[in-house]
Each structure stands twice: as structure tokens, then as C-alpha cells.
């Protein structure tokens, strides 16, 4: 049985758990805890260790999706989760500019863990105040060769498209090297 | 979609950089409890800027810049037959009071005087509305944002913000591959030219500071300005193995390596998602 691993990372409340929940064939194994800090109470629960989702592609091929905790105080999990990944998705909250700096820092951290392909998915594009993917590329100084794609983490098709774009990036890298 | 946020999270420098690179057209409104500014852009160039509560008619601008006297300005403003700034400009030129160059310089100076203080606003809500432009009767002057950003960055006093934006000085610099970014069109200070002369993927920002006897703050400020003006990019220093600690923003990326799975596996995953 071949297992392939993709990591979904991003700042607090970017929608990582939803992203995985939306596409996983199993109920996501979530390690959530109730949020106690007043300043972080934009949602009730947060991931403290990881989210885990699974997609069976064939009898001999399974895709694992790991979601990282968004809060810095749980970042000791990041490197563990990054081990052996095929690539990673950096999920942005397109309506909360206060998280962009953190998103850029997370992106740099993951790039330093493993030099694997990644893409940036701009979540919450269905909301009126969402910054466009083009603006987010400039705001976060994403290099031109990295894809920045729109995303709605509650929409299965959109999530599927993000994963496809990441896989295309992996394939493009393989083509370049062949 | 409107761009909304707070300067705490996305500074004036970053906003202008975004508007410049995305060649946006529209109006940016920045507000605090005390003041509100409106900046107008056309295809990524600043064309107008005003502070609420300020008289921004041409007569007031010419007076502010000393081209006409207070009495002349008052007399002009009381004339009911002059309907727009453009009309007034023509009238004043034809009467020989001012030249076209006087008008352009005055408007430009007033626009910039309204913009530069915004670089030091640490806080304030902003909203960019696409395709909304100032009143048609106003005289607008297209001003390249690279120069505005460079001057604005010179006024930055916040060490913390610079530290956040450029945490490591162990990065090298190279000129941006933007065909429209021309250094010779931008007014640089002597210190900035000194830094520019050392820009090379072999030199780190720290080394450039040492060559020029600059403090960390000085080099950060200059590099930040050049970066935000879209003139340079950060790169990994040539010939240096990157072992920077994780979590350091701005560090150069490692070259991507082929993942340890077979091509066939990736193709199967792709066709699975394309089918479902």
C-alpha cells in the first residue's frame, strides 16, 4: 500500500480543518480544544496537534491530508507533520489582513522544512471583502512560479481543484527534472 | 471586491506597493479618529490626494505653494463664473498669473504633502475602491509610486515594523526583473545609491551595511524602501548553504527537489481527482 501525504497549513482560523473535512472520506480526526483566550475567540475550537483526513484512491494508494495547528504555541507539531510530505498547501484567510504576516512566516517556515512543491490557496473567496488572489500574491510576495489559487474550503469542488493544482505543480517539477 | 484592513496589519508602504504592482485604478481611503485621507490612483500611478476638511481647490493649492497671494486666492474663490479647477487653471495661465509648470508643481507638491505623513500612521482603517476617481473638475498629476514609496520609507521611524518586515540581514539582494522599474527615474539619496552600488547576489544586506558603515536600522530602512518600491528582490546569497532557523520570514527558499514518489503515483492521484 502506497501512502502519499499532503500537508495543509496556514494561520489561525484560515479554514484548514474545514478544508480537510470537506474532502476526507472519513470523519476528520481532529485534535481540537475550546479556545480560552479572549483575543482568539473568533471561533469556538482550535486545532492543537493536527487534523487528519484520508482519501482512498485505489486499493493500493491512499492520500493522507494533515492539517497543522494554526497557533504559534503549537508549532512544535509543524516539523513532525512536514516529514515526508509530497507537497503542501498554504491556506490564507482572504478577508483577514491581520493574518497575512503570520501566513508569510508560516510559508517560510515550511519552505525551510522541506524543499517540496507548494501552492497558496486563498480561502473565503465567496465573501464580499475577500482580497483577490492577485492582490494576495503581491501582499505576501509570492514568487511568480508559485501558484496562488482561489478557494472556498466549504466547497468540495474548490478543495479538489486546490489539490489538483498542487499535484500539477509536483508533476511540473518532475517534468523539469526529467 | 474592496481591499479593506488596518494599517497595523498592512502598512501604507505595502498598500502603495500593491497598488503600484497591480496597476490599480481607484480611491484609497485611510482613516483614523482624527483624520481621513483619500488617495486616487490611475493604472498604478498616484494622481490625487486630499485630506478631509482641507481646501483642495486649485486656488488654495497655489496659495499654499506661494504662487499666488492670500488675497488673490480669496478673490478667485469668490468668482462665481469659474466652475472648475481646470477652467481656473486656464484662466490664470491666460491672464499670465501662473504658468502651466507652476500649476503642475503646486498640485504635485500638495498631493505629496498629503501622502507622506501617511507613512508614519501606525494605525488606521483603509479601504480601496476600484474604479472610483476624484471629482472630474480637479487637476490630476500622475506620479510614479516608486519615488513616493522611497521618500515615504525615509520617514519611517519604527524599528519594530522594519524588523518584522525584514527580520534577517543575511539575505542577498538583486534587481527586480520588472521592465518598468527604472532606477534612473527615481530620486535616490546618496546613502541609497551607495547601497544600490553594492547590490549583487554575492553580497548580503549585512555586508552592504558594513561596507558603507551603516547601522542595522539604516540598512533595513533603505532595503525595505527599495523592496517595497519593487526595485529589488531578496535572494539567497550565492555560494552560501542555507541553514537559517525555521520560522524566519524572508529567508531565501531552498531549490525544490523531486518528491520521493513515482511519477505514476502522482498521475493516478490527478486522474482520481479529475474523475471524482
pLDDT of residue B251: 44
* Mutation target vs A (from B128, B250, B259, B261; most A CBs, 10 A cutoff): B259
* Mutation target vs B (from A77, A141, A144; most B CBs, 10 A cutoff): A141
Residues of B within 8 A of A115 (CB-CB) are: 253-257
Does any CB of chain A come closer than 8 Å to the CB of residue B264? no
ipTM of the complex: 0.86
Question: Cβ of B18 and A139 within 8 Å?
Answer: yes
- Asked whether residue A133 carries a pLDDT value surpassing 50, the answer given is yes
Average pLDDT across chain B, whole number: 85
Does any CB of chain A come closer than 8 Å to the CB of residue B252? no
Does any CB of chain A come closer than 8 Å to the CB of residue B267? yes
Q: How confident is the model at residue A79 (pLDDT cuts 50, 70, 90)?
A: confident
Partners of B56 in the β-ladder: none
Q: What is the mean pLDDT of residues B183-195?
A: 83
Query: For A108, which of B9, B17, B251 is closest by C-beta distance?
Result: B251
pLDDT of residue A34: 64
DSSP B245: P
Query: For B9, which of A63, A86, A101 is closest by C-beta distance?
Result: A101
Question: Cβ of B257 and A86 within 8 Å?
Answer: no
Question: Cβ of B254 and A177 within 8 Å?
Answer: no
Helix (H) or strand (E) holding B193: helix B190-197
Contact between A93 and A99 under an 8 Å Cβ cutoff? The reply is yes
Does any CB of chain A come closer than 8 Å to the CB of residue B4? yes
Exposed/middle/buried for residue A53 (C-beta within 10 Å: 0-12, 13-18, 19+): buried
Over residues B111-126, the pLDDT tens digits come to 999 999 999 888 999 9
Residues of B within 8 A of A174 (CB-CB) are: 258, 263, 266
Least confident of A46-50, A148-152, B170-174: A46-50
Query: For A174, which of B21, B255, B258 is closest by C-beta distance?
Result: B258
Helix (H) or strand (E) holding B86: helix B85-94
CB pairs under 8 A between A and B: 116
Does any CB of chain A come closer than 8 Å to the CB of residue B275? no
pTM of the model: 0.79
Over residues A90-110, the pLDDT tens digits come to 999 999 999 998 999 899 888
Amino acid at each position: 500500500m502506497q501512502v502519499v501525504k499532503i500537508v495543509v497549513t496556514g494561520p489561525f482560523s484560515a479554514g484548514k480543518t474545514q478544508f480537510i473535512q470537506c474532502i476526507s472520506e472519513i470523519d476528520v480526526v481532529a485534535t481540537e480544544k475550546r479556545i480560552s483566550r479572549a483575543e482568539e475567540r473568533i471561533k469556538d475550537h482550535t486545532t492543537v496537534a493536527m487534523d487528519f483526513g484520508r482519501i482512498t484512491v485505489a486499493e493500493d494508494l491512499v492520500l493522507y491530508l494533515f492539517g497543522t495547528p494554526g497557533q504559534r504555541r503549537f508549532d512544535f507539531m509543524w516539523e513532525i507533520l512536514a516529514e515526508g510530505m509530497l507537497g503542501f498547501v498554504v491556506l490564507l484567510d482572504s478577508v483577514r489582513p491581520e493574518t497575512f504576516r503570520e501566513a508569510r512566516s508560516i510559508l517560510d517556515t515550511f519552505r525551510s522544512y522541506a524543499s517540496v512543491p507548494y501552492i497558496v490557496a486563498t480561502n473565503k473567496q465567496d465573501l464580499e471583502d475577500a482580497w483577490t488572489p492577485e492582490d494576495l500574491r503581491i501582499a505576501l510576495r509570492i514568487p511568480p512560479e508559485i501558484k496562488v489559487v482561489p478557494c472556498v474550503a466549504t466547497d468540495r469542488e474548490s478543495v479538489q481543484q486546490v489539490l489538483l493544482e498542487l499535484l500539477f505543480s509536483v508533476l511540473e517539477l518532475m517534468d523539469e527534472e526529467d | 471586491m474592496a481591499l479593506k484592513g488596518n494599517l497595523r496589519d498592512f502598512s501604507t508602504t505595502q498598500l502603495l506597493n500593491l497598488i503600484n504592482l497591480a496597476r490599480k485604478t481607484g480611491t484609497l481611503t485611510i482613516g483614523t479618529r482624527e483624520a481621513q485621507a483619500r488617495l486616487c490612483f490611475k493604472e498604478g500611478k498616484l494622481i490625487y490626494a486630499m485630506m478631509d476638511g482641507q481646501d483642495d481647490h486649485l486656488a488654495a493649492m497655489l496659495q499654499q505653494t506661494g504662487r499666488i497671494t492670500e488675497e488673490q486666492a480669496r478673490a478667485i474663490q469668490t468668482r462665481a463664473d469659474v466652475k472648475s479647477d481646470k477652467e481656473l487653471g486656464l484662466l490664470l495661465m491666460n491672464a499670465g498669473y501662473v504658468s502651466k509648470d507652476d500649476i503642475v508643481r503646486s498640485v504635485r507638491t500638495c498631493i505629496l504633502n498629503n501622502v507622506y505623513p501617511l507613512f508614519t500612521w501606525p494605525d488606521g482603517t483603509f479601504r480601496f475602491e476600484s474604479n472610483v476617481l476624484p471629482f472630474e473638475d480637479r487637476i490630476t498629476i500622475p506620479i510614479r509610486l516608486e519615488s513616493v514609496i522611497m521618500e515615504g520609507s525615509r520617514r519611517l521611524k519604527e524599528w519594530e515594523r522594519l524588523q518584522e518586515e525584514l527580520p534577517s540581514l543575511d539575505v542577498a539582494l538583486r534587481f527586480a526583473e520588472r521592465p518598468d522599474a527604472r532606477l534612473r527615474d527615481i530620486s535616490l539619496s546618496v546613502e541609497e545609491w551607495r547601497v544600490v552600488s553594492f547590490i549583487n547576489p554575492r553580497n548580503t544586506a549585512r555586508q552592504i551595511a558594513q561596507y558603507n558603515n551603516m547601522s542595522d536600522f539604516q540598512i533595513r530602512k533603505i532595503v525595505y524602501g527599495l523592496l517595497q518600491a519593487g526595485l529589488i528582490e531578496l535572494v539567497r546569497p550565492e555560494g552560501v548553504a542555507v541553514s537559517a532557523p525555521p520560522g524566519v520570514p524572508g529567508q531565501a527558499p531552498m531549490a525544490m527537489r523531486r518528491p520521493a514518489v513515482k511519477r505514476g503515483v502522482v498521475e493516478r492521484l490527478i486522474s482520481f481527482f479529475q474523475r471524482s
